[in-house]
Structure 1
Amino acid sequence: MGTLDWIILSGTLLFIVAFGVWRTRGSQDVDDYVRGGKRAKWLTVGLSVMATQASAITFLSTPGQAFHDGMGFVQFYFGLPLAMIIICMVFVPIYHHLKVYTAYEFLERRFDLKTRTLAALLFLVQRGLSAGITIFAPSIILSAVLGWHLNTLNIIIGILVIIYVVSGGTKAVNVTQKQQMFVIMLGMFAAFFFILGYLPTDISFGKALKVAGASEKLNILNFELDTNSRYTFWSGITGGMFLMLAYFGTDQSQVQRYLSGKSVRESQLGLIFNAILKIPMQFFILLVGVMVFVFYQYNPSPLNFNPAATAAVMDSPMKEDYLQLQKAHQDIQLEKKLAQDAFSQALELKEYSTTIDAKQQILEINRRESNQREAARNLIRQADPAVETNDKDYVFIHFILNYLPRGIIGLLLAVILSAAMSSTASELNALGTITALDLYKRNAKASDDPARDVRISRLFTLIWGVIAILIACVADLFDNLIQLVNIIGSIFYGNVLGIFLLAFFIRFVRGNAVFVAAIITQAVVIIGWSLDWMSYLWLNAFGCTLVIGLALLFEGFDRLLGPPAEADTA
């Protein structure tokens, strides 16, 4: 990194923090601090909702996901528009009508205090872990490629977020996320056009898509009915819908975004804005990863993109074996370039049989290269079992640091850290709010001092910021980061969503049945995940269905065996 990169990176981050503190100073009461005074317009709501979901993990992991596995991951988001329609029709009007500060406040009005407390605790566990991961994700990757100390990066990111979130609350989150989304999209578009500019002169964007298609990177739709397949059309439209419905409808980090809307209509428009743009945005980010793949068809790529993994094996007795693999990998790189040239020529000549033969040759080379990369991972595991061998999360950052010009590197690093800050800010804002209002204030002596309530909210936000930093410092990376966060959510979200659906639609079920059903369901889902009963996306539908079924069963037994009781009312 050059001086210009450092100026752009530090200047961007410091501006966001200073702007957030300056624009949102002086919150006088909880309504102002938690709901931003309910003054946000639809565009602010929409961008804030989008920025909350689009963490650094999105911009680090998604291109690497596309590089290795193609565009199929976009199916994960197919259920999002359906979820948004349901939330706009059901959740938003009820939340606004009841004037709640948190989603779980509604559960007490519908059921009882213990159900509200249980749902709040489930949120704190899963979102507290996720907050640590959203800090840890960019830190571990940047520390590996830049040589910075991991915990130093964790602390820097955490402190930057804590400063403006503790100061301004929800309003600070909303204001800064607009700036962060501008930086993020500017950086991603810059990266995309630079990648296209670095391709060989005879490779247009259209031909680049054909090159990617020849390696089966553009296979978007998978209609298999196998529940063990992670990303299919059906898992996206069902499991993905349940996950999005739970995330946007019951997760306080998102609910708090649209509770700040000045009206029901502004909140609904913000969510529809996200429903329309989210899939195209994810498609574009995946497309960036596919273009990185095309770039490496004509340029040398490392055997493993994680520099820490390479350093570990080169300092071990496995060094000679790894060097032999690297030599074979270099030979394959040359074969790959020649095969791609032959494929391009066949496309120019429009010879169908020659094109098919060239494509088959490319697929065979890709298979051999994949085997080489797996052999390299095995050597790395033998050299140091503690080093992360899955390099999906390092693909995009490797391209940024090795091929982009000065200035653009700083901008892209600002993108990664801005995304980390935006998601972490929403999470800390929600964690502090839930702890202050759903747990502390609900169980403490009543207070009529608005300033004291704000101080308590700020204190808990600060505490959760410190906890998130500590989690980041002791976290460990496995598989793919974007999948890790979604797995954590899927373990908890289905259960919580089921509780809310019972509250909204099944009026005769009471709190005791729901509370017991939720505890059993959470235990079963955790066991199911640990035993790998199904792909994690299906856990959302499974948990939701199970808690509803058990609650209906327990309520039926209770009414059959016990004295008659009137149905709860909200």
Structure 2
Amino acid sequence: MRPLDWIVLLGTLGFIVIYGVWKTRGSTDIEGYLKGDNSMKWWTIGLSVMATQASAITFLSTPGQAYEDGMRFVQFYFGLPIAMVIISITVIPIFYRLNVYTAYEFLENRFDLKTRTLAALLFLVQRGLAAGITIYAPAIILSTMLGWSLTVTILVIGMLVIIYTVSGGTKAVSVTQKQQMAVMIGGMLVAGIMVVHYLPQDVSLGDAVAVAGKMGKMNVVDFSFDWNDRYNFWSGITGGLFLALSYFGTDQSQVARYLGGKSVTESRLGLLFNGLLKIPMQFMILFIGVMVFVFYQFNQPPVFFNEGVKSKVYATPYAGELRALETTYSAAFAEQKQGVQDLVVALKTDNEADIAAAKTKVTNLTAATKAVREEAIGVIKKAAPEAETRDTDYVFISFVMKYLPAGLVGLLLAVIFSAAMSSSSSELNALASTTVVDLYKRSVKPFGDATHYLNASKLFTVAWGLIAVLFAIYASLLDNLIQAVNIVGSIFYGTILGIFLVAFYFKHIRGNAVFWAAVLAELVVLYCHFYTSIAFLWFNVIGCGCVILFGFILQAVLGKKKELVAQ
């Protein structure tokens, strides 16, 4: 890190925190603290909703996902625009009419206290875990790249978030997220322009896309159906739809964003704005990852992207074996590079026979290079058994640190810190509001004054922030980071969504039936997660469907029981 990078990074983060504290000072009750005095306009809501979902994991892990697996992850979001329309039509008017602080208040009006409490607890468990991952994910990578202690990095992110979230509540979250989104989108656009600029002079953007296509990275839509395939059109349009319905319709970290709108119309416009822009934004981030992949076809990538782990291996008796494999890897890459250059020449001729031959050659050479890389990873596993050997989350940040000029490195690191802060602040605010409104105020201390609940909200924000930081300090890396967050969400979201769908659309199902239906549905989802190979997106459909199905069955049984007792 050069001095200019530090100036850009610290200046950006300092401005966001100070602006958030100053702009939202002076909340005197929970109406202002938890709902922002219903003063948010649609563009603030839309940007806040996008920033809440776009965590640091999005900007660290998504390009790496594309580097390894191509563009098909974008299908995960295909159901999102449909979900935004459904929520705008059905959910928002109900929440506004009831004037609720959290989504779960509605459930007590519709069912009973225990169902409200169950849904709130399911949310707190999954969002509490996700908050820890949201902080841990960027911290473990940034600590490696900056040479900081992991604990220090986690504490820096956590404390910055806690300061302005405690200071201004929901309004502070929404206001700062406008600046954070500007930094995030601007930084990623600059990174995309730079990676294309760094391609060889005789390789145009069109050539790069064509090469990526021939190497299987432009796989945007896949219509084949497979229960075990995480990302295809069908899992995205169904499982993704259910996940989006649950996340945006029942997750307090998102519900709080649009409950603070000036009106139903402003909230609807904010959600629809998110629905229109989310897929293009994810497409852009994935495409940048694909361009990084093409860049590394002409510039040798490291045999393993996590330099911190490699450094540990160099200090073991396996160092010589790893260095020998790196030499072999360099030779294999030189052949692969020549094959890719031949493919570019063939593509420019439009001769299908030449293109097919060049593609086959590149496929074989890529397989040989990959085999050497797998051997190197095997050595790393032997030398450092406790080390994480999935390095795709390090691909993009490694490119940034090694190739971008001074100033831009600081900007891209500010992107990652900003994303971590935006998601974490939303999560802490939602965790605190749910704890206060649905548990503390409802069941522990129902007769406190406005000042008491305001102070309780701030204390619970600090408490959840510290819990998230502690979880992040002791967490272990779970698969690809962006998948880890979505897996945690999918385990719980389907059940929560099922409760809300029963509440909205199946009026004859009552509280006892839906409560036990939700408990059984969650057990089914946990079984699917631990004992089957079903792709996680389907958990949202399974959990939701089971709540509705079991609700019908249990209501019929309980209804008959009531009739027998009455007789």
Return the TM-score normalized by structure 2: 0.98
Q: CA deviation at 1:424?
A: 0.1
Contact 2:305–2:394 at 8 Å: present in 1 too?
Answer: yes
Rounded to whole Å, the distance in 2 between the matches of 1:50 and 1:467 is 25
Equivalence for 2:390? 390
- Number of the residue aligned with 2:500: 500
The letter of the residue matching 2:480 is N
Specify the alignment match of 2:134 in structure 1: 134
Supply the distance in 1 between the matched residues of 2:218 and 2:385 (Cα, whole angstroms): 34
Cα separation, 1, equivalents of 2:72 and 2:281: 14
Aligned to 1:370: 370
Q: Deviations over 1:209-242 (max 9, x none)?
A: 0111121100111122110011111000011111
1:132 Cα deviation (Å)?
Answer: 0.6
Aligned to 2:58: 58
Secondary structure of 2:476 counterpart = coil
User: 1: CA distance between counterparts of 2:422 and 2:543?
Assistant: 29
DSSP 3-state at the match of 2:420: helix
Deviations 1:252-305, CA, capped at 9 Å, x for gaps: 000000001111111010000000000000000000000100111110110110
Name the residue aligned to 2:5.
Answer: 5
Q: What is the rounded CA distance, in whole Å, between the counterparts of 2:383 and 2:546 in structure 1?
A: 44
Distance 1:154 1:496 in 2: 30
Q: Which moved further from structure 2: 360-369 or 258-267? A: 360-369
1:297-446 matched pairs, under 5 angstroms: 297-446=297-446
TM superposition shift of 1:565: 11
Amino acid paired to 1:459: L
RMSD of aligned residue pairs (Cα, Å): 1.3
Q: Residue type matched to 1:225 in 2?
A: F
- Residue 321 of structure 1, CA deviation: 2.5
Within 1, Cα distance between the matches of 2:557 and 2:64?
A: 51
After superposing the two structures, state which structure 1 stretch, 230-239 or 523-532, moved more: 523-532
Give the deviation of 1:448 after TM superposition: 5.5
**Quick check: 541-550 or 338-347, which moved more?**
338-347
User: Does structure 2 conserve the Cα–Cα contact (< 8 Å) formed by 1:393 and 1:481?
Assistant: yes
C-alpha separation between the residues in 2 aligned to 1:24 and 1:493?
31
State the match for 2:548 in structure 1: 548
Is contact 2:336-2:369 (8 Å) kept?
Answer: no
Counterpart of 1:145 in structure 2 is 145
Where does residue 14 of structure 1 map in the other structure?
14
Query: CA–CA distance in 2 between the matches of 1:448 and 1:330?
Result: 68
Q: C-alpha separation between the residues in 2 aligned to 1:46 and 1:156?
A: 27
Aligned-residue offset at 1:375: 2.0
8 Å Cα contact 2:66/2:73 also seen in 1: yes
Matched, 1:296 2:296: yes
Q: Which runs of 5+ in 2 are unaligned?
A: none
The whole-number CA distance in structure 2 between the counterparts of 1:85 and 1:324 is 56
What displacement does 1:369 show?
A: 2.2
CA contact (8 A) 1:104 1:119 kept: yes
Partner of 2:252: 252
Q: 2:257 aligned with 1:221, yes or no?
A: no
8 Å contact kept, 1:215–1:366 = no
Shift of 1:520: 1.6
> 2:539 is aligned with what amino acid?
L
Matched residue type, 1:265: T
Structure 2 SS opposite 1:70: helix
Tell me, yes or no, if the aligned pair for 1:39 and 1:261 is still in contact at 8 Å: yes
CA contact (8 A) 1:55 1:134 kept: yes
Distance 2:494 2:375 in 1: 38
Q: CA deviation at 1:312?
A: 2.7
**Contact 2:518-2:547 at 8 Å conserved across structures:** yes
User: Pairwise mapping of residues 151-300 of structure 1 onto structure 2 (< 5 A)?
Assistant: 151-300=151-300
Q: CA deviation at 1:564?
A: 8.5
Specify the SS of the correspondent of 1:529. helix
AA at the equivalent of 2:350: K
Question: Which AA in structure 2 matches 1:35?
Answer: K
Q: How many residues align?
A: 566
CA shift, 1:379, in A, is 1.6
Cα distance in structure 2, aligned partners of 1:235 and 1:565? 45
Q: In 1, Cα distance between the equivalents of 2:120 and 2:213?
A: 46
CA contact (8 A) 1:214 1:362 kept: no
Q: 2:135 touches 2:468 (CA, 8 Å); kept in 1?
A: yes
Q: Provide, for residues 458-498 of structure 1, a one-character-per-residue CA deviation record: whole Å limited to 9, x for no partner.
A: 11011101111001000110210000000000000000000
Contact 2:440/2:446 (<8 A) preserved: no
How much has 1:167 moved relative to structure 2?
Answer: 0.6
Q: 1:564 to 1:103 in 2, by over 3 A?
A: farther
Q: Once the two structures are superposed, what CA deviation does each residue of 1:387-415 show, in whole Å capped at 9, x if it has no partner?
A: 11000100000000000000000000000
Seen in structure 2, the aligned counterparts of structure 1 residues 532 and 309 have a Cα distance that, compared at 3 Å, is farther
Q: What is the identity, as a one-letter code, of the residue corresponding to 1:298? A: F
Matches for 1:20-39 after TM superposition, within 5 Å? 20-39=20-39
Tell me the distance in 2 between the aligned counterparts of 1:365 and 1:4. Answer: 40
Instruction: Quote the offset at 1:533 in angstroms.
Output: 3.9
- Superposition map of 1:64-75 within 5 A: 64-75=64-75
**Structure-2 residue corresponding to 1:530:** 530
Structure 1 CA distance, aligned partners of 2:344 and 2:468? 50
Whether the aligned pair in 2 keeps the contact of 1:312 and 1:380 (CA below 8 Å) is no
Identity %, equivalent residues? 55
1:454 alignment partner, SS class: helix
SS in 1 for 2:446: coil
Return 5+ residue gaps in structure 1 as ranges: none
